[in-house]
Amino acid sequence: MVSNQKNAVPDSLIKPATIMKKLMLITLCSITIQLFAQNEPVTIIEEKKAEVPAFKVFYSQKLVNTKTVEVLRKGVLEFNVSHSFGDIAGDFGGIKNFFGLDVSTDVRIGFQLGLSDRLNIIAARAKGLFPDASKLWELGFKYQFLQQSDNDPSHPISLTVYANNVISTNQRDVLPGAENSYVDFGDRMSQVIQMMIAKKFGKVSLQLNPLFLHTSLVLPSDDKGIFALGGAIRLPLSKKIVIVADYFHPFRSQSSKDSFAAASPTIEFHDPLGIGVEILTEGHTFHLNFTNATEILENRFIRRTTTSWGDGAFRWAFTISRNFILFKDKKSK
């Protein structure tokens, strides 16, 4: 009994120790809660805001015949198919060719890839209409220098440059005087450089298209270099239905016109004019077009449009495109 009493701790010492432990626990909990409460607003401030969609003057890379100022964002791949049929009316149209649907004049299958938010590369294959300039391969690029902004007055317009090199891989003609009387590989090439200046006024989009075409091998007395000036318009009827149109006027030399008139009096050059309907869907963009342009590539229809709307020699055409995300920018969230 004596031993137990010596080892026992008095109640007067137990209570102060217990009280101290409780006070320390309460103090730690209070400090922890306060620290979390202070960190919570910091976390909210550091959260990134949702990305604002880029301002678009046009909603597609191409209207009827012309490219637009728009470029794809980095990592986006566009698959594009353009198809032109025969004349709706005129000497080669009408019911005998089911208003042109029985004839396939030109087909282009192409890819466009965004290497950055400003620079795109283009690769395509086109059938071509004329046998002496067919089986065409296109390599090119688009670079956007300026992009219009709806909330920044210092960016009132969009400005993009498009350039390509087209190679004709059809069979060589051994006789001189034809477009495919190639002497060397360079004779198979042609180049286009086009500047596109565009601005959106409310819902209406307008674009100016100065263009220069150089062709290494041309018909006798024809111009190797041709400058053309064009324009384009986009007019929405609803959120998904849009009217589009574009036009080019090639500036050919008078000597070239006189040479063709003397050699082939029936050949007359006309300005390419296209009118179409743009249909926007969740998955792709579809264009139903009508144009007198004889071929799809700028390298061809700027030089060789010989059919006229006035004669009914314009044709059905369509373009369908679909975008895919090929890769994502690691810097973006």
Q: Can you give the pLDDT of all 333 residues of the chain as single tens digits? A: 444 444 444 554 445 555 555 555 555 555 444 544 444 444 444 444 444 456 899 999 999 999 999 999 999 999 999 999 988 888 888 888 888 888 888 999 999 999 999 999 999 999 988 877 889 999 999 999 999 988 888 889 999 999 999 999 999 888 888 888 999 999 999 999 999 999 999 999 999 999 999 999 998 888 999 999 999 999 999 989 999 999 999 999 988 888 887 778 778 889 999 999 999 887 788 999 999 998 999 999 999 998 999 888 899 999 999 999 988 876 655
The continuous run of DSSP H or E covering 183 comes out as: none
Is the residue at 62 inside a domain? no
Integer Cα distance of 39 and 140 in angstroms: 52
The predicted structure's pLDDT at residue 117: 95
Residue 197 belongs to domain with CATH number: 2.40.160.40
Kindly list the distances between the CA atom of residue 319 and the CA atoms of 58, 104, 167, in Å, as whole numbers in the listed order: 15, 14, 22
Number of domains in the chain: 2
* CA trace torsion 59, 64, 70, 76 (10° rounding): 80
Is the residue at 59 inside a domain? no
Compute how many other C-beta atoms are within 10 angstroms of the C-beta atom of residue 8: 8
On whether both 214 and 157 belong to a single domain, the answer is yes
Is the residue at 51 inside a domain? no
Is the residue at 85 inside a domain? yes
The predicted structure's pLDDT at residue 65: 95
On whether both 19 and 93 belong to a single domain, the answer is no
Integer Cα distance of 265 and 58 in angstroms: 41
Integer Cα distance of 286 and 64 in angstroms: 11
Per the DSSP assignment, residues forming a β-bridge with 189 are 167
On whether both 172 and 316 belong to a single domain, the answer is yes
Burial track 139-153 (b if 16+ CB lie within 10 A, e otherwise):
ebbbebebbbeeeee
Is the residue at 58 inside a domain? no
Q: Which long-range contacts (CB under 8 A, 24 or more apart) does 267-273 make?
A: 267/306, 268/306, 268/308, 269/305, 269/306, 270/305, 270/306, 270/307, 270/308, 270/309, 271/247, 271/305, 272/65, 272/247, 272/248, 272/301, 272/302, 272/305, 273/245, 273/246, 273/247, 273/309
323: alpha, beta or left? (left if phi > 0; alpha if psi -120 to 50): beta
The predicted structure's pLDDT at residue 221: 83
The predicted structure's pLDDT at residue 257: 85
Integer Cα distance of 276 and 318 in angstroms: 9
Q: Contact 195/210 with Cβ under 8 angstroms?
A: yes
Is the residue at 53 inside a domain? no
Is 0.75 topped by the overall pTM? yes
The predicted structure's pLDDT at residue 11: 52
Nearest Cα residue to 52 out of 150, 158, 160, 145: 150
* CA trace torsion 145, 147, 151, 155 (10° rounding): 40
Strands (DSSP E) found in the chain: 76-87, 104-114, 119-126, 136-146, 158-168, 189-201, 204-215, 225-236, 241-251, 273-280, 284-291, 315-325
Q: Residues with Cβ < 8 Å from 258, sequence gap 6 or more?
A: none
Integer Cα distance of 291 and 85 in angstroms: 10
202-219 pLDDT tens trace: 999 999 999 999 999 998
> Which domain range does residue 40 map to?
2-46
Is the residue at 54 inside a domain? no
On whether both 28 and 150 belong to a single domain, the answer is no
On whether both 126 and 190 belong to a single domain, the answer is yes
Q: Which residue in the block uniquely carries the two structure tokens 């396939």?
A: 104
Is the residue at 63 inside a domain? no
Per the DSSP assignment, residues forming a β-bridge with 191 are 165, 214
